[in-house]
Structure 1
Amino acid sequence: MCGIAGFVNDDPIDVKCPVIKRMTDIIAHRGPDSEGRYVDDHVALGHRRLSIIDLGGGQQPIYNEDGNLVITFNGEIYNYRPLRAQLIEAGHTFTTESDTEVLLHGYEEWGVDLLQRIRGMFTFVIWDKTKKELFGARDHFGIKPFYYAKMNGTFMYASEIKSLLQHPDFVKELNREALKPYMTFQYPPFAETFFKGVFKLPEGHYFTYRDGKMDIHRYYDERFRESDVTLDHLVDTIDDTVVGSVKAHQIADVEVGSFLSSGVDSSYVAAVARPQHTYSIGFGKGTYNESQQAGELAGILKLNNTAEALTDEEAFSAFPQIQWHLDEPDSNPSCVPLFFLSKLAAHDVKVVLSGEGADELFGGYIDYGVHTKSKAIKVVTRWLTHLPAGARHAIARWCKGKTFHGAWHLYANLAPAEESFIGQARVFEESESDRILKPAYRKAPSVQSIVDRTYARIEGKGLSELKKKQYLDMHQWMPGDILLKADKLTMAHSLELRVPLLDKVLMGVAEQVPTKWLINDENTKYAFRQAAGRHLPEEWKSREKLGFPVPIKKWLREEKYYKLVRSVFERDYVNEFFDQDAILKMLDDNYAGKTDDRRRIWTVYTFLTWYDVYFVHDGSKPDVLDLKD
């Protein structure tokens, strides 16, 4: 696991060298073990290394046999050993034992087809000295981040946006169109970031940059479909593939630990992996501390689990630093415990496994259509899903806005996904955003136009409404929120996170799961849970998804933290974006118990904290706040 940064322009080498060093120094947390650079008249490639595979010999950049190709790489390739054997048989000469060199020779041998052969998480760039061409790619699901911009004649890229800010040709400007969609989604939901002119390379894409022109191409996409596989065979296949994926994801020359929560996903991974160390975290005692249940499972499985309870003061003190690491505002409350969980694990290990991906692959979210506990309503709804589309949609539209019990469950299951589902977060409705945003920030792509671009790719493919929702989440929620925070907040502590449940081989199984075995009257993620049950006690197999419980409601009704948030809402720059009186009233009414606007308040607070770090100040890493009484 590493960090990469670089740029293409014709500045002299002696000008390029200090710039590329600044760009990699700012992300030293991604790779504290070593650094490397390649600089010539046309390009500068920089690298920071966290040594995981071939500890002594994998320093980057790495060159091919004649020195014509140069690579820098961030990630892990889990099937690099068989690919290495194929490349040696084809006549390639290796100078290291690293997976990085497999990518380099693989590109030399197979070109773009390399991307169809590799299994892993990655972003990498290869400079071809002869063609004067830069080739780069991002992994199938967007596990690893890749940002790029073209400013003042320079093409620049990096694992984190803060690297780009170090380049003298970078122009820092807020993207005004990003704020309103963020208010709904809680994360930036499209390719252009909160920094105007800075873009994310989409998941499953590669690019070439030559003669000032960037060409981007898709090389991978999910193919959700139905099949007639039996439940027993499906469960066998899921379990065999999960076990194989976990084993592949444990390849390393250092110890690999695991995160462990009370939920089925990380528990399944830990139960299969049986690592030497697992890690759990929570707030205080009771509702907001999953580490207690995780500790019980660790006892049953005889795992060595390290748990820690966070204090409210720790959470607020580190919050500006968390937003600095994220590069863009993300108001997912789980960012806070994930930051501290990563810090805890990094005391012992360099690599951890985690459970991200199972909900999207196997139907784990209640927002996919589980809005009642009534068995009767579930049965009726399931029967109605077999009606012709016109009849289903008519019933759904009649239910929309009704208040009788089961109305929302009926609507969510019978309405077209394109009309009813925008992903796992919906904080502000657009009309609510308009009421508190200043006019200049109301002009932005609509929520519907954002999701429609993704839905359009699967139009006419005959997918169930549930599989459409999975596809949307795979291309918005997952790379925009889940994977981004997972990468940034683990790498903040020089910790590599691996996600064996988000694997292209397992995806090939998940694509074919019949809709009836994703969510049924019994539970979400039904087939997956049956597979997990082969390794876990019944209680853990069936447990409802909680996510990272975070006590925002309690915080915003405690005087100390209410005043802290209010002091941010009262700052002069806030009036640039928001009706300041309106958001202060929202905060005050929530504090008084008149309303429950915790998620809306937290979303505004997150943006303002991020803006303070990157625009009011100069984007330097903020200190931990001193909140002692």
Structure 2
Amino acid sequence: MCGLLGFISADESASRFTTAVENALPCMHHRGPDDSGSWNDDSVVFGFNRLSIIDIEHSHQPLQWGPEDEPNRYALTFNGEIYNYVELRQELKAAGYSFNTEGDGETIVVGYHHWGIDVVKHLRGMFGFGVWDSKEKKLFIARDQFGIKPMYIATANAGTVFASEKKCILSMADALGLSKDLDIRALAHYTDLQYVPEPESLHTAIRRLESGSYAIITPGQAPQQQRWFEPSFPVKKVSAGNEEAVFQRIAEALEDSVAKHMRADVTVGSFLSGGIDSTAIATLAKRHNPNLLTFTTGFEREGYSEVDVAAESAAAIGAEHIVKVVSPEEYADAVPKIMWYLDDPVADPSLVPLYFVAAEARKHVKVVLSGEGADELFGGYTIYKEPLSLAPFDKVPSPIKRVLSTVGDALPDGVRGKSLLQRGTMTMEERYYGNARSFNYEQLERVLRHIRPEWDHREVTAPIYAKSRNMDPVARMQHLDMFTWLRGDILVKADKITMANSLELRVPFLDKVVFDAAESLPVDMKISHGTTKYALRKAMERIVPAHVLHRKKLGFPVPMRHWLAGDELYGWAKKIIEESQTDDLINKTEVLKMLEEHRVAMNSGSGPDHSRRLWTIIAFMIWYGIFVEERIDPKIDRHDYPVEL
């Protein structure tokens, strides 16, 4: 797990930018405090920060490799882990290739020489990398199929730069002649959805290489991007009596994935909440590490902690368990630092407890496993039940649907049946926008100064829905979430917040073998018997402690609605809003009105809960104060963790 930075010159004058690349590397020191280096030729400059996990003494980057007749033809800079690198090395050695290290990165460059751009289809892992071919004068950059590892990219007259973190590119903007202008459309999407959707960033000149995509770049030419992975969810009916074979395949795939994800030359621990996903991972990890450490976090407020359940699970599997309880004061103090690490704001309050549990884990281990991705692959969100409950509306003729829709809209808010009529008469594309939406368009108009009707969530979701027309309704929702919520929120916070603590997070559910076992599941293997993730729960019956199998999903819940209305964070939030210099972008009077309405509602027990909307705006204001105003000091710590952990 590391941080990469690369530049390809438009005119073979790359050496002019070597200093700019080297000066930008400290921006992501946290991603790789163990080693740092740079390399260049006339066309490219590569920079690298390394967190040593595999082949600690060797595998320094940027890494050069070439066949016997063309030594050092290729240069590699790579962030991530290739979990099947042992098997790939054996396959490539059998094909006649030799290796200079024992690391996983070298398999990428050797594989690229052997398979070309199809190397990405052979890799089982999480990655963002760049390979420079000095003979063909061609740069190949790629990102893993789910988007676990980030990749930012920007092109200027001088050339193209790519990096694991946007702040590195921003630090080079003046040298490259890149604009630092804000993307107002991306701001509208962020405010609507709580995250900036790929491929956007909040800076117009900087984009993201999308998940499951690669780009080929030659000097003086714009990057040619191509998607190499597109999930299809080809549902296969499971005949009666064959269900156990399906459950067994899932169990075996996950067991194999965890085994591969435990490959490391350092200690591996596991995050553990109170749900089936993280408990399954930790239980399987314990088989490979008898001294497994598990970590969780929570709050003192009742109803907002899974600490007790996680402790019970840890005891059941025989793992030593470590807990971090976060106070409101710690929470508020950490937010500016977290926004700096994120590069773009993500309005997910669980970022903060994740930061603290990652910091605690890093005192003990260098790598942790976690349960992200299980919901998207196996159908875990409660909202996935909705197509089944709304199925009777599918038989209603369109003219009657229009009448029912009108009736639903006319009913007063709070009247029973209003939401059912409204949602039942909508198409899937109209009613489902993913797992997060803070504002509807009317609310956006009141809060944002610059907004256009076409900038609502449908601008983001429509192209994704267009690719899922032939899928069943639940699969369409999963497909949408993979390209919105998963890669926009979940995986951004998983990568950025753990890396902020120089901790590598691995996600065994987001593995190509596990995905192969999940993508063809029929609806009744996902939503069935009154529960979600039915097939996964059945597959885990012999593995996961019984008290966890059917628990309601909580994750790391945060008492934000109470804190923003009480002494904990009300004054803090009001001060941020009043001092923010975002008046040209945001109607602060409207935001302050929302804060007061929220306080009254929470304290009286009646009225609107604005906590998600408020947190979305507050997160942006803090981000803006750091990256644009340069008024807020994020107080970044420089970690110097020992390699031997």
Q: State which of 171, 179, 183 in structure 2 corresponds to 1:175.
A: 183
Q: Secondary structure at the match of 2:47?
A: strand
Q: Name the structure 2 match of 1:143.
A: 148
Cα distance change of structure 1 residues 223 and 85 upon mapping to structure 2, 3 Å threshold: same
Q: Secondary structure at the match of 2:126?
A: strand
Q: Name the structure 1 match of 2:370.
A: 354
Q: State the 1:612 CA deviation.
A: 0.4
Q: Name the structure 1 match of 2:463.
A: 453
The alignment status of 1:472 with 2:472, answered yes or no, reads: no
Given residue 216 of structure 1, which amino acid in structure 2 is its aligned partner?
Q
Q: State which of 265, 275, 292 in structure 2 corresponds to 1:253.
A: 265
Runs of 5+ in structure 1 lacking a partner?
372-377, 625-629
Q: Secondary structure at the match of 2:234?
A: coil
Q: Structure 1, residues 129-175: CA drift from partner, whole Å, max 9, x if none?
A: 12221111000100000000012422111000011012122321111
Q: Structure 1, residues 9-48: CA drift from partner, whole Å, max 9, x if none?
A: 2475663222111221110100011012111222110111
Cα distance change of structure 1 residues 471 and 383 upon mapping to structure 2, 3 Å threshold: closer
Q: Structure 1, residues 445-500: CA drift from partner, whole Å, max 9, x if none?
A: 331121001111122x2x21111000000111111111011000000001111000
Q: State the 1:392 CA deviation.
A: 11
Cα distance change of structure 1 residues 51 and 455 upon mapping to structure 2, 3 Å threshold: same
Given residue 67 of structure 1, which amino acid in structure 2 is its aligned partner?
N
Separation (CA, whole Å) in 2 of partners of 1:335 and 1:15: 39
Q: State the 1:537 CA deviation.
A: 2.7
Given residue 330 of structure 2, which amino acid in structure 1 is its aligned partner?
E
What is the number of equivalent residue pairs in this alignment? 613
Q: Secondary structure at the match of 2:36?
A: strand
Q: State which of 213, 217, 234 in structure 1 corresponds to 2:222.
A: 213
The alignment status of 1:22 with 2:17, answered yes or no, reads: no
Q: Counterparts in 2 of 1:415-494, with a 5 A limit? A: 415-438=426-449, 440-442=450-452, 445-459=455-469, 461=470, 463-494=471-502
Q: Structure 1, residues 318-341: CA drift from partner, whole Å, max 9, x if none?
A: 100000000001101111111111
Q: Structure 1, residues 517-541: CA drift from partner, whole Å, max 9, x if none?
A: 2112411111111112221233200
Given residue 143 of structure 2, which amino acid in structure 1 is its aligned partner?
R
Q: Name the structure 1 match of 2:641.
A: none
Separation (CA, whole Å) in 1 of partners of 2:514 and 2:404: 33
Q: Name the structure 2 match of 1:607.
A: 620
Q: Name the structure 2 match of 1:571.
A: 579
Q: Name the structure 1 match of 2:199.
A: 191
Cα distance change of structure 1 residues 508 and 254 upon mapping to structure 2, 3 Å threshold: same
1:400–1:407: 8 Å Cα contact kept in structure 2?
yes
Q: State which of 630, 635, 642 in structure 2 corresponds to 1:617.
A: 630
The worse-fitting range, judged by mean Cα deviation, of 123-132 and 572-581 is: 572-581
Q: Name the structure 1 match of 2:254.
A: 242
Separation (CA, whole Å) in 1 of partners of 2:298 and 2:517: 33
Q: Secondary structure at the match of 1:4?
A: strand
**TM-score with structure 1 setting the length:** 0.93
Cα distance change of structure 1 residues 304 and 393 upon mapping to structure 2, 3 Å threshold: farther
Cα distance change of structure 1 residues 14 and 237 upon mapping to structure 2, 3 Å threshold: closer
Q: State which of 79, 96, 108 in structure 2 corresponds to 1:74.
A: 79
2:15–2:42: 8 Å Cα contact kept in structure 1?
no
Percent of aligned pairs sharing the same letter: 37
Cα distance change of structure 1 residues 143 and 192 upon mapping to structure 2, 3 Å threshold: same
2:7–2:14: 8 Å Cα contact kept in structure 1?
no
Separation (CA, whole Å) in 2 of partners of 1:499 and 1:399: 46
Q: Name the structure 1 match of 2:335.
A: 319
Given residue 93 of structure 1, which amino acid in structure 2 is its aligned partner?
S
Separation (CA, whole Å) in 2 of partners of 1:618 and 1:285: 33
Given residue 450 of structure 1, which amino acid in structure 2 is its aligned partner?
V
The alignment status of 1:52 with 2:53, answered yes or no, reads: yes
Q: Counterparts in 2 of 1:23-42, with a 5 A limit? A: 23-42=24-43
Separation (CA, whole Å) in 1 of partners of 2:58 and 2:23: 25
Q: Structure 1, residues 543-599: CA drift from partner, whole Å, max 9, x if none?
A: 111121101112112235211111111125131112221111111121223532111
Q: Structure 1, residues 261-313: CA drift from partner, whole Å, max 9, x if none?
A: 01110011111111411101111153112122101111121110101111110
Given residue 114 of structure 1, which amino acid in structure 2 is its aligned partner?
V
Separation (CA, whole Å) in 2 of partners of 1:498 and 1:396: 47
Q: Counterparts in 2 of 1:166-565, with a 5 A limit? A: 166-167=171-172, 168-169=175-176, 170-211=178-219, 212-229=221-238, 230-274=242-286, 275=289, 276-369=292-385, 381=389, 384=392, 387=395, 397=405, 401=409, 405=416, 408=419, 415-438=426-449, 440-442=450-452, 445-459=455-469, 461=470, 463-559=471-567, 561-565=569-573
Q: Secondary structure at the match of 1:180?
A: helix
Runs of 5+ in structure 2 lacking a partner?
602-606, 638-645
2:2–2:32: 8 Å Cα contact kept in structure 1?
yes
Cα distance change of structure 1 residues 235 and 410 upon mapping to structure 2, 3 Å threshold: farther
Q: State the 1:410 CA deviation.
A: 7.6
Q: State the 1:515 CA deviation.
A: 0.7
2:328–2:568: 8 Å Cα contact kept in structure 1?
no
Q: State the 1:218 CA deviation.
A: 1.1
Separation (CA, whole Å) in 2 of partners of 1:185 and 1:383: 27
Q: State the 1:400 CA deviation.
A: 5.5
2:212–2:227: 8 Å Cα contact kept in structure 1?
yes
Separation (CA, whole Å) in 1 of partners of 2:153 and 2:400: 44
Q: State the 1:184 CA deviation.
A: 1.5
Q: Structure 1, residues 413-472: CA drift from partner, whole Å, max 9, x if none?
A: 78532121110001100111101211x34476331121001111122x2x2111100000
Cα distance change of structure 1 residues 399 and 96 upon mapping to structure 2, 3 Å threshold: farther
Cα distance change of structure 1 residues 383 and 48 upon mapping to structure 2, 3 Å threshold: closer
Separation (CA, whole Å) in 2 of partners of 1:323 and 1:43: 31
Separation (CA, whole Å) in 1 of partners of 2:167 and 2:451: 24
Q: State the 1:613 CA deviation.
A: 0.6
1:27–1:160: 8 Å Cα contact kept in structure 2?
yes
Over the aligned positions, Cα root-mean-square deviation in angstroms equals: 2.3
Cα distance change of structure 1 residues 20 and 623 upon mapping to structure 2, 3 Å threshold: closer
Q: Secondary structure at the match of 1:541?
A: coil
Q: Secondary structure at the match of 2:154?
A: strand
Cα distance change of structure 1 residues 455 and 382 upon mapping to structure 2, 3 Å threshold: closer
The worse-fitting range, judged by mean Cα deviation, of 496-505 and 232-241 is: 232-241
Given residue 73 of structure 1, which amino acid in structure 2 is its aligned partner?
F
1:6–1:46: 8 Å Cα contact kept in structure 2?
yes
The alignment status of 1:5 with 2:5, answered yes or no, reads: yes
Q: State the 1:248 CA deviation.
A: 1.0
Q: Secondary structure at the match of 1:576?
A: coil
Given residue 107 of structure 2, which amino acid in structure 1 is its aligned partner?
V
Q: Secondary structure at the match of 1:171?
A: coil
Q: Structure 1, residues 249-271: CA drift from partner, whole Å, max 9, x if none?
A: 11111111000001110011111
Separation (CA, whole Å) in 2 of partners of 1:622 and 1:208: 38
